[in-house]
């Protein structure tokens, strides 16, 4: 509907576009196609190809590309291994979202990005299993683990700060809200009261004792440690694939899902088994 009246190249596959845009409204899709048309015009193209649609999607999600950013070879290598770590762990976690694209082109505040194609059914229902959330934490830690394995503990960077925030948030919600902790049980704790007009951190109040807080912290730490161990096991077991993917990213800067999966077929990678 939203591509009507626009000239499209033969390589445009709307099924693949749909997999990368779950939850998009009609207005979002119209904006996507308009951005793709603008990019095609800037590139003096007569048709919109899959590359323009992909670049438009990344621009909408992550911000404009930093064309004039000066990136040293050392930083480029580090970002490549970081993103390869995310992708590698995500691809080998059972029942996790497939990798759609990996990029080390700086956008917004990010030095690189790994795009997954989440299930539209899962997004619409809002229901996430415990195993999915545990996988999500391991994937988020994959970047830092790759940095540690390749560059050593002393040479890791602050690039994983957002990943740590995501992992901490998910682990705490699993314990406090979702009933995924045997020690806390099937109850929701924390976050009660507060002024709704204040920021979330300011308004949240703990409605449990210090003893319970110690248990919560212990359970959160256990979940994070488990995710870190799983990510480490995957990356060390498939270190050859990590090297190949990182080298491919350094050479090409972007790798799509199909090319990424071919590495796993060639490397005979196996899904992680807990």
> Which residue reads 């700086």 in tokens?
106
Q: What residues act catalytically?
A: 83
Q: Rounded to the nearest 10 degrees, what angle do helices 50-62 and 26-42 cross at?
A: 120
Integer Cα distance of 66 and 63 in angstroms: 9
CA dist 193 and 69 (Å) reads: 45
β pairing state of 113-116 and 254-256:
unpaired
Q: Which two tokens stand for residue 269?
A: 């990678």
- Using CB atoms within 10 Å of the CB of residue 204, give its burial: 0 to 12 exposed, 13 to 18 middle, 19+ buried: middle
d(CA 274, CA 272): 6
- Residue written as tokens 């576009």? 17
Angle, in degrees to the nearest 10, between helices 73-92 and 239-252: 130
The Cβ-side half-sphere exposure at 71, using a 13 Å CA radius, reads 20
CA-nearest of 175, 178, 165, 180 to 208 is 175
Torsion of CA 3, 4, 10, 13, to 10 degrees: 40
| Beta strand residue intervals within 83-215, DSSP E | 99-103, 113-116
């Amino acid at each position: 509907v939203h591509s009507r009246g626009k000239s499209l190249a033969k390589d445009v596959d709307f099924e693949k576009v749909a997999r990368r845009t779950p939850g998009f409204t009609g207005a979002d899709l119209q904006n996507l196609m308009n951005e793709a048309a603008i990019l095609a015009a800037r590139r003096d193209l007569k048709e919109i190809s899959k590359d323009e649609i992909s670049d438009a999607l990344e621009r909408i999600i992550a911000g404009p590309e930093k064309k004039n950013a000066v990136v040293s070879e050392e930083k480029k290598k580090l970002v490549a291994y970081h993103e390869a770590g995310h992708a590698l762990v995500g691809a080998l976690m059972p029942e996790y979202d497939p990798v759609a694209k990996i990029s080390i082109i700086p956008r917004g505040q990010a030095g690189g990005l790994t795009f997954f194609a989440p299930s539209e059914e899962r997004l619409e229902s809002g229901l996430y299993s415990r195993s999915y959330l545990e996988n999500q934490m391991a994937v988020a830690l994959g970047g830092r683990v790759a940095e540690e394995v390749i560059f050593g503990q002393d040479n890791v960077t602050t690039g994983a700060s957002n990943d740590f925030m995501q992992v901490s948030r998910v682990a705490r919600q699993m314990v406090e809200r979702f009933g995924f902790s045997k020690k806390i049980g099937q109850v929701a704790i924390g976050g009660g009261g507060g002024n709704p007009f204040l920021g979330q951190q300011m308004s949240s109040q703990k409605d449990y004792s210090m003893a319970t807080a110690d248990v919560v912290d212990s359970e959160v730490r256990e979940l994070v440690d488990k995710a870190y161990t799983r990510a480490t096991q995957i990356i060390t077991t498939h270190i050859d694939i990590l090297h190949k993917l990182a080298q491919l990213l350094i050479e090409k800067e972007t790798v799509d899902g199909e090319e990424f999966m071919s590495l796993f077929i060639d490397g005979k990678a196996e899904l992680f088994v807990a």
